[in-house]
């Protein structure tokens, strides 16, 4: 064999060995994160384009007002009227010294007790009555 051909074959074999070694190293390094050196922190990475793609979503922060609490005294004998803007979160508290059954008309909520809490969002315009059952006497009115 000619010395020049032999030299070319040896060079080709060395280069093939380096390429093969480099391919093995690339394949194994793509499945695990590199080892961090002392004093540094390794960040996770990926060689896959699908995994390295990041998306950023816009976030909106809104302040939600606390519910408006309205206390309606069923023992007062007066029909109290409260203005409630539409969209307001409401906690309507009906209190009495004796247990009573209350009905919040239009929202169709019924509760019984000496202190009951109707929690709702004011979405119905007009006058809404809180009545006492069985007599249907009005305890208070909400207007939106």
pLDDT digits (tens, 9 = 90+) for 47-102: 444 544 554 555 554 455 678 999 999 999 999 999 999 999 999 999 999 999 99
**pLDDT recorded at residue 128:** 97
Residue 121 in any domain: the answer is yes
Residue 14 in any domain: the answer is no
Residue 54 in any domain: the answer is no
Per the document, the length of the chain is: 144
Determine the 3-state secondary structure of 132 from DSSP: strand
Determine the structural domain holding residue 130 and report its residue range.
Answer: 68-143
**pLDDT recorded at residue 57:** 54
SS3 content of the chain, % helix, strand, coil (to 5): 20, 35, 40
**CATH classification at residue 94:** 2.60.40.420
Residue 89 in any domain: the answer is yes
Residue 127 in any domain: the answer is yes
**How many domains does the chain fold into?**
1
| pTM of the full structure | 0.56
């Amino acid at each position: 064999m000619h010395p020049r051909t032999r030299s070319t074959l040896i060079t080709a074999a060395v280069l093939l060995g380096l390429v093969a070694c480099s391919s093995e190293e690339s394949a194994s390094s793509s499945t695990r994160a590199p080892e961090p050196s002392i004093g540094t922190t390794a960040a996770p990475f990926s060689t896959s384009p699908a995994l390295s793609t990041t998306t950023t979503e816009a976030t909106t922060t809104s302040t939600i007002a606390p519910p408006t609490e309205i206390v309606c005294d069923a023992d007062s004998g007066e029909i109290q009227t409260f203005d409630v803007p539409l969209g307001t979160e409401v906690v309507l508290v009906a209190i009495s010294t004796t247990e009573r059954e209350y009905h919040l008309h239009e929202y169709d909520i019924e509760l019984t007790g000496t202190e009951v809490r109707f929690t709702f969002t004011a979405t119905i315009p007009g006058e809404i009555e809180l009545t006492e059952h069985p007599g249907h006497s009005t305890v208070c009115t909400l207007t939106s």
